[in-house]
Amino acid sequence: MRYKFSNLNFVKIARPVFISAIVLVLAGIVSLSIFGLNYGIDFKSGSSVDISVSKNVEKAQVEPFLNSEEFGKYTFTSGESRISIRFEEALTDVQQKKLESDFKEKFDAKASFEVNIVDVDIAKEQEWNALKGILIACIGIVIYVAIRFEWRFAISAVASLIFVAFMVITIFSIFRLEVNLPFILAILTIIGYSINDTVVIFDRIRENLRFAKLKTDSDLTDVVNKSISQTLTRSINTVVTVAFAAVCLFVFGSESIKMFSLAMILGLLIGAASSIFIASPLWHLLRRKAKPHQKAKPQSAS
């Protein structure tokens, strides 16, 4: 099988794509500044208690039980064979022990617990630590790509990957999905994948550039379009395979990595699209500006 999109003009649709990307980023900034992220306890401090039960436990029974334990404010969701409680306070180990033994005694002796307790300064520090890592990694990428390719590729690649990461964060903000430590992992994975994806397309542009005679703007446009279409089958096949693996994790995987897999799926799809529709046209834009301005031939509409 081979995907034939050789007559698609990726550069020509750059303007509407860029505008929508900017709108999306603005929407993201608005959403993040108004709603923020739905931080799980990894970033907020507090305690999360997930209980997997072997028999059905009624929600109505659990609530008075939790109230009687008096561990402070909490939110509480229950699903089939699983109960999740989020305490705003960090439980002490004595409280944790009491909760576990009381629950087992009252409801289900075979209950299995997953408990996370985080202190507030650790939470902030983890987030900052990951953010710092990502920023420094971006600088590293810029330097390497600038040496191996040129600085315009570097700027475009990093702009694209920051866009991808930011979009995933935005989606999580808008849909109020819970952000925990695995989310950071997903963002790291997405960045790794996105940079891989972009470099492959850029490599093809670099190669085609070597044999191209760039007399007019449309020559440059042709190089970009040709490079994208030549790598398109690879781009699609790769993203389909990897996204499939992420979907498998989402469908079959354990509860604790559901959100991680979801972030991965989103990031992979956005990342693949961004390499094609944002990174490459952005390079084209930067490169075109750099040349001594020539009168562009009126482009045909086809």
Partner 1 sequence: MKRLLTFVFVVVVAFGAIAWTSPHLLDQTKLGLDLKGGFEILYEAQPLNEGGTVTKESLKETAKSLEKRANKTGVAEPEVTTEGSNRIRVKIAGVSNEQEIRDKMKKPAELEFRSASGCAADAGYCKVELVGSDFVEGAAKVEYNSLNEPLIAIQVKDKAKFAEISTRLVGKNLAIFLDDDMLSDPVVQQPLTDGNATISGQRTIAEAKDLADTINLGALPLSLTEKYTQSVGATLGQKSLEDTALAGIVASIVILLFMLIFYRLPGFIACICLLVFVWVLLAVFWMMNATLTLPGIAAFVLGIGIAVDTNIITAERIKDEIRNGKSIASSLRSGNKNSFRTVIDAHITNIIVGAVLYFIGQGTVRGFAVVHLSSIIINIATNLFLARFLLLLVVKSGRFNKPSYYGVKESEIRAL
C-alpha span between 243 and 37 (Å, rounded): 24
Q: Does 237 bind partner 1 (CB under 8 A)?
A: yes
52 - beta bridge partners?
82, 112
Our CB check for partner 1 shows the closer of 14 and 242 to be: 242
Nearest-approach distance from CB 288 to partner 1, in angstroms: 24
Our CB check for partner 1 shows the closer of 255 and 297 to be: 255
Q: Does 9 bind partner 1 (CB under 8 A)?
A: no
Pull the structure tokens for residue 224: 């970009």
Residue 194: what residue type? S
Q: Does 234 bind partner 1 (CB under 8 A)?
A: yes
CA dihedral 3, 4, 7, 8 (to 10 degrees): -20
Q: Which of 58, 80, 105, 121: binder of partner 1 (CB under 8 A)?
A: 121
178 - beta bridge partners?
38
Our CB check for partner 1 shows the closer of 12 and 206 to be: 206
Sketch the per residue contact string, 80 through 119, with partner 1: x for CB under 8 A, - otherwise.
-------------x--xx------------xxxxxxxxxx
C-alpha span between 299 and 217 (Å, rounded): 10
User: How many other C-beta atoms are found inside a 10 Å radius of the C-beta of residue 166?
Assistant: 17
Q: Which of 34, 79, 252, 300: binder of partner 1 (CB under 8 A)?
A: 252
Q: Does 55 bind partner 1 (CB under 8 A)?
A: no
Q: Which of 15, 124, 132, 291: binder of partner 1 (CB under 8 A)?
A: 132
Of the CA atoms within 13 Å of residue 139, those in its CB half-sphere come to 5
